[in-house]
């Protein structure tokens, strides 16, 4: 059910309630919106994010836990890749946990679900071998407390890996490009010649309302060095931070926004391949060229890993 304006306004002063409201609302269509799947494409993506920051040592982890799991994208694809044999998906949104556990069941994976606040993870001390998360830290009000909880539940020698976190600069660029794309698309499709490309006004209004609530739940952007310091302060060791997506983000965010602004039946397989292969090509340029010549703070995505001392 679409949240009312009154619910959105009330959630502005309560970020946790805002996260529940927004992600419960999005749960049923989240996979489609973000092109999430549990196949070779997304499994390769998740595996490469993991190995790019943490390598392959220690596989398979016996028990893994994901905080802010959403529909299970990161952990379930990592399990498909052989990173872990069993898992726990947690999210503050009951709707997301329901979808994630359903996805796990359909995939035949050994996964249980828990509705949980990342600042108070409902598992025992030193009980999991791996903690992961994708695009979650920037939603958590108290990131330092979340790191402390992650270190509490990890076994000595256990590892955490977080990916998909926005940097300060990258987030500014992504939002500006998305706003410009939305404005241009929704205005151009008012022209009679392009009217077939315009989504119904009610759907556009709902998307705008979703964007307004999304702005409430996106609480942080990160400086790579400062985030590493926070992890060390929580007790982590061997902390490493990397960033990725420079030109790939400049391409990817307008593409994603355009997809949300036009009817889905207008975009077929050829478009999907253009978007995917375009992102892949620019990601390769970023990795092999731009990562060598520009500061990591200018990239969009941040990845961080560390271990709990033995």
Count of alpha carbons within 13 angstroms of residue 92, beta-carbon side: 20
Distances (CA, A) of 290 to 51, 91, 166: 20, 35, 18
Q: What number of CA atoms fall less than 13 Å from residue 66's CA on the CB side?
A: 31
Query: DSSP secondary structure string, 273-287?
Result: HHHHHHHHHHHHHII
pTM for the complete prediction? 0.94
Average pLDDT of each block of 10 consecutive residues along the chain (310 residues)?
70 83 86 89 97 96 98 98 98 97 98 97 98 97 98 98 97 95 97 95 82 83 98 98 97 94 92 94 97 95 98
pLDDT of residue 175: 93
pLDDT of residue 14: 86
Q: For residues 232 and 163, what is the distance between their CA atoms, to the nearest angstrom?
A: 17
Q: What are the pLDDT digits (tens) for 56-109?
A: 999 999 999 999 999 999 999 999 999 999 999 999 999 999 999 999 999 999
pLDDT tens digits, 25-41: 888 888 888 889 999 99
Q: Are 268 and 261 in contact (CB under 8 A)?
A: no
Cβ neighbours of residue 89 closer than 8 Å, sequence gap 6 or more: 66, 69, 72, 75, 76, 97, 100, 101, 104, 111, 112, 113, 114
Q: Which two tokens stand for residue 63?
A: 């028990």
């Amino acid at each position: 059910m679409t949240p009312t304006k009154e619910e959105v306004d009330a959630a502005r002063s309560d970020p946790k309630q805002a996260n529940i409201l927004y992600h419960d609302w999005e749960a049923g269509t989240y996979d489609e919106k973000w092109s999430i799947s549990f196949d070779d494409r997304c499994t390769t993506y998740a595996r490469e994010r993991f190995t790019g920051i943490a390598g392959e040592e220690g596989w398979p982890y016996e028990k893994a836990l994901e905080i802010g799991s959403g529909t299970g994208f990161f952990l379930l694809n990592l399990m498909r890749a052989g990173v872990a044999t069993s898992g726990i998906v947690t999210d503050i949104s009951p709707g997301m946990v329901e979808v994630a556990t359903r996805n796990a069941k359909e995939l035949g994976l050994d996964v249980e679900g828990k509705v949980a606040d990342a600042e108070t993870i409902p598992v025992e001390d030193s009980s999991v071998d791996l903690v992961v998360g994708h695009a979650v830290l920037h939603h958590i009000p108290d990131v330092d407390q979340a790191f402390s909880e992650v270190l509490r539940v990890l076994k000595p020698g256990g590892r955490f890996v977080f990916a998909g976190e926005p940097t300060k600069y990258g987030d500014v660029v992504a939002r500006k490009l998305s706003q410009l794309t939305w404005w241009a698309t929704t205005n151009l499709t008012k022209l009679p010649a392009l009217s077939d490309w315009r989504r119904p006004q009610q759907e556009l209004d709902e998307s705008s309302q979703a964007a307004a609530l999304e702005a409430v739940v996106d609480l942080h952007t990160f400086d790579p060095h400062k985030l590493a310091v926070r992890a060390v302060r929580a007790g982590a060791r061997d902390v490493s931070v990397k960033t990725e997506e420079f030109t790939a983000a400049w391409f990817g965010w307008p593409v994603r926004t355009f997809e949300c602004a036009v009817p889905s039946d207008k975009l077929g397989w050829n478009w999907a391949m253009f978007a995917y292969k375009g992102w892949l090509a620019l990601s390769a340029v970023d990795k092999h060229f731009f990562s060598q010549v520009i500061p990591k703070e200018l990239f969009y995505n941040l990845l961080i890993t560390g271990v709990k001392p033995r």
